[in-house]
């Protein structure tokens, strides 16, 4: 790939910025020139169209084009300096006269611009094997709320066989059936199909419609995380700990933070979730060690709800996707909705 193509890939020239930068309009093209290497060479950069930039270097002593810097086998110090000067000019033009185009389709790039405008987030390209996969994460907590990917359409629609770009967003699990009835929306590719959908970025849906789904998906990342934490009544009297207070200190897992919701699962003889609490304070230094428990930090949690011991037994929560509770763990969306609906608020 040419140096120019590599530097300006996924970029689009903003013509309004060329003249102020120093370009001149010549025969319908924009040309910029600059001397480098102590006036030994003259660099010419030509903008052919919004996505094409061409450059050449003239040896001023001989009046010929110098091309050694384009040869991969040429690695000498002098050639390296010429190549570096050329790349520096191109990168400066890109930074000051071009708009970044992260994706292949116009709608994908418009959506990326709207996301940046609304949330200040730009896509992260996490996989070398999939350079067209861009993930958008909430800048406050790094949670994913959208991902744009280029795939073969047959991965989501067996009746088609062309390359498309899609955006994956999280939706309300209870509304997903209605959402999937809309043209251009499919079950989430590479995501949990219970609560993620893929939207084709080919203008089937308007930018405004897609941004509505992105807004809802982003709202999920602003919600507190919910956890189940186990308690063994043989080692700690969890049943009576809330008799005189609604706030207690508890061993903390690394991932739990202020504002999160924790559900206390009390082991045998109850084997059920009995309490819903909110984390008021986290990362409290707390050195403690016994034959049963050891901790270096704790959290302060406040009781919000109590549940009847027969309501969320292990057998019941197993039906909601919880197969084991050996330590602090996240919960499923279905169980979260049920836990928030039931119980006695305090």
pLDDT beyond 70 at 219? yes
Give 26's pLDDT tier (boundaries 50, 70, 90): confident
- DSSP secondary structure of 215-252: HHHHHHHHSPPEEEEEE-TTTS-TTTTTSS-SEEEEE-
Q: What is the mean pLDDT of residues 216-227?
A: 91
Using DSSP's 3-state secondary structure scheme, residue 195 falls into coil
**Tens digit of pLDDT for each residue in 292-323?**
778 889 999 999 999 999 999 999 999 988 99
DSSP H or E run through 213: helix 207-222
* Residue 217: partners with Cβ closer than 8 Å, 6 or more residues away: 145, 146, 169, 170, 171
pLDDT beyond 90 at 162? no
* Mean model confidence pLDDT for the chain: 91
Q: What is the mean pLDDT of residues 324-328?
A: 89
71, with CB counted inside 10 A (0-12, 13-18, 19+), is exposed
- Phi, psi of 126, rounded to the nearest 5 degrees: -95, -20
Threshold 0.85, pTM exceeds: no
Of the listed ranges 144-148, 173-177, 339-343, the one predicted with least confidence: 339-343
pLDDT beyond 80 at 248? yes
Q: What is the mean pLDDT of residues 10-18?
A: 90
CA distances from 75 to 42, 59, 78, 79, 255 (A): 21, 19, 8, 6, 48
CA distances from 236 to 78, 232, 288, 290 (A): 73, 6, 14, 12
* Residue 325: partners with Cβ closer than 8 Å, 6 or more residues away: 228, 230, 265, 314
Maximum average pLDDT range among 97-106, 212-221, 322-331, 335-344 = 212-221
For residues 306 and 275, what is the distance between their CA atoms, to the nearest angstrom? 5
Give the closest residue to 45 by CA, choosing from 62, 57, 28: 57
Q: What is the mean pLDDT of residues 51-68?
A: 92
The share of the chain scoring above pLDDT 70, in percent, equals: 99
The answer to whether 225 and 262 have CB atoms below 8 angstroms apart is no
Q: String of b and e for 15-37 (b: at least 16 CB within 10 Å)?
A: eeebeeeebeeeeeebbbeeebb
**Tens digit of pLDDT for each residue in 175-214?**
999 999 999 999 999 898 889 999 999 999 999 999 999 9
The answer to whether 187 and 198 have CB atoms below 8 angstroms apart is yes
- Phi, psi of 334, rounded to the nearest 5 degrees: -65, -45
Residue 107, pLDDT score = 95
Residue 144, pLDDT score = 94
Question: What is the set of domains in the chain, with CATH numbers?
Answer: 3-100 (no CATH), 106-222 (3.90.1150.30), 226-345 (3.10.590.10)
Give 270's pLDDT tier (boundaries 50, 70, 90): very high
Residue 346, pLDDT score = 62
Q: What is the mean pLDDT of residues 62-67?
A: 93
pLDDT beyond 90 at 290? no
* Residue 147: partners with Cβ closer than 8 Å, 6 or more residues away: 133, 134, 135, 136, 167, 168, 190, 191
The answer to whether 149 and 168 have CB atoms below 8 angstroms apart is yes
Residue with tokens 């989501």: 156
DSSP 41: E
Q: How far is CA 289 from the centre of its chain?
A: 39
Q: ∠ at Cα 40 (38, 42), nearest 5°?
A: 105
pLDDT beyond 80 at 86? yes
The share of the chain scoring above pLDDT 90, in percent, equals: 64
DSSP H or E run through 103: none
Using DSSP's 3-state secondary structure scheme, residue 274 falls into strand
Residue 101, pLDDT score = 85
């Amino acid at each position: 790939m040419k140096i120019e193509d590599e530097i300006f890939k996924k970029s689009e020239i903003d013509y309004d910025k060329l003249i102020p930068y120093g370009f001149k309009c010549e025969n319908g093209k924009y040309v910029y020139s600059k001397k480098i290497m102590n006036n030994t060479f003259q660099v010419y950069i030509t903008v052919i169209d919004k996505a094409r930039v061409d450059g050449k270097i003239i040896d001023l002593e001989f009046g010929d084009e110098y091309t050694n810097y384009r040869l991969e086998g040429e690695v000498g110090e002098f050639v390296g300096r010429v190549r570096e000067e050329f790349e520096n000019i191109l990168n400066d033009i890109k930074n000051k006269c071009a708009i970044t185009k992260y994706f292949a389709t116009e709608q994908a790039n418009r959506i990326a611009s709207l996301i940046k405008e609304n949330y200040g987030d730009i896509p992260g390209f996490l996989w070398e094997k999939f350079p067209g996969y861009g993930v958008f994460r909430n800048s406050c907590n790094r949670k994913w709320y959208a991902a744009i990917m280029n795939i073969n359409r047959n991965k989501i629609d067996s009746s088609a066989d062309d390359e498309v770009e899609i955006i994956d967003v999280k939706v309300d699990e209870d509304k997903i059936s209605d959402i999937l009835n809309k043209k251009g929306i499919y079950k989430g590719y590479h995501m949990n199909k219970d609560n993620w959908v893929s939207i084709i970025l080919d203008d089937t849906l308007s930018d405004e419609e897609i941004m509505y789904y992105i807004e809802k998906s982003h709202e999920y990342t602003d919600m507190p995380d919910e956890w189940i934490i186990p308690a063994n009544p043989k080692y700690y009297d969890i049943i009576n700990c809330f008799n005189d207070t609604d706030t207690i200190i508890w061993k903390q897992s690394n991932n739990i933070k202020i504002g999160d919701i924790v559900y206390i699962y009390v082991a045998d003889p109850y084997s059920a979730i009995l309490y819903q609490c909110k984390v008021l304070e986290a990362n409290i230094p707390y050195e403690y060690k016994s034959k049963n428990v050891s901790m270096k930090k704790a959290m302060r949690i406040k009781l919000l709800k109590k549940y009847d011991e027969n309501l969320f037994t292990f057998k019941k929560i197993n039906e909601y996707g919880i197969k084991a509770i050996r330590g602090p763990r996240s919960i499923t969306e279905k169980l979260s909705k049920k836990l928030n609906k039931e119980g006695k608020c305090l």
